[in-house]
Amino acid sequence: MAPPIPCAGRPTLKELGLENSLLPWLRQLPIPSLTALTGSRANRMGHYHERLWHTLLDHAPNTRMLAHNVRITRQRITLGELDMLYRTRDNPAPIHLEVAIKFYLGLPEGPGDVRSQSRWIGPGGADSLALKCAHLQRHQLPLSTTLPALATLNHWLAPRDLGASKLTLGEQLTQRLAIPGVLYYPWKTPWHTEMPPPEGATLNHRRGYWCYCRDWPAFVASSAAVPTIAWLEKPHWLAPPLSSVFRPIDKVLPGVIDKVHAWRSPQQIMLYYQHEHRYERVFLVPDDWPHQVPLPPPARL
């Protein structure tokens, strides 16, 4: 599992019962579960990411999936959807988990101060880390504690799922948030100084770089080693493709640059330094990127 971008209490390997056995556990998963993990039918990366969590929570030694994608309505109006409900083996109290997989590029200049989450935006510029965190924390997580949600969950969950506790469902329910992903730092800022991580980022979050197409030659020249390259299609944004996919830069890069210009959108590539067995993620962006920057979320009253 990739380290989370903001630290928000996602399930740990210890909680899942996989602290020292993740790889052996993956190897013994039944075939239908492995098929769900391939991503071969993933039309949207977010849906594929949710399927990975379903498989993990449903088959890990210490957790059990209770429900997922629970629609909450009031008078036939949909208020939202709860991503997942699960419990641990030793505690019947349900846990509400919201998940998102996100890839944000940092802006040396932009809304807020230098560590503002609003400066970390999606490749298309319509989303930001600040907006995503605000939506999850202000709407998605609190949704499970509303009266319509509690009524729906009481209907969904069997009495054994709630255990023998005298506490109500609302008193037993806990909430968790998991936002794994990658933060891409600008390779060359106007001041030639490294941009700090956003507020709330974990120390071990996964990192990459982004650079303008005009800066690509300098980016490659900055390393003594010559990497091979692969253009990343979804779902390989989540994990590197096979090493056989990587090819010499001059065989791949022209096509990637053409896509950047034709689609006027950032394209993600991965560099592989064979002698170091090291991968590096890079977003190549148009020279006039970003075309838009979302406003910060409104302040809470």
Name the residue among 290, 251, 205 with its Cα closest to residue 1: 205
Chain centroid offset of residue 206 CA: 10
Give the pair of three-digit tokens for residue 159.
């009495």
Tell me the whole-structure pTM to 2 decimals: 0.89
Q: Output the DSSP codes for 231-266.
A: E--TTTTTS---GGG-EEHHHHHHHHHHHHHHHTS-
Q: What is the pLDDT of residues 74-108, one digit of tens each?
A: 988 999 999 999 999 988 889 999 999 999 999 99
pLDDT for the residue numbered 240? 81
pLDDT of residue 254: 96
Residues 6+ apart with CB under 8 A from 202: 3, 4, 5, 6, 7
Cα dihedral 255, 103, 53, 201, rounded to 10, equals: 150
Q: Which residues contact 250 (CB under 8 A, 6 or more apart)?
A: none
Q: Which residues of the chain have pLDDT under 50?
A: 1, 7, 41
Residue 1's pLDDT is: 42
Q: State pLDDT tens for residues 28-63.
A: 876 555 555 555 545 578 888 898 899 899 999 999
Cβ-contact 7, 186 below 8 angstroms: no
pLDDT at 11: 86
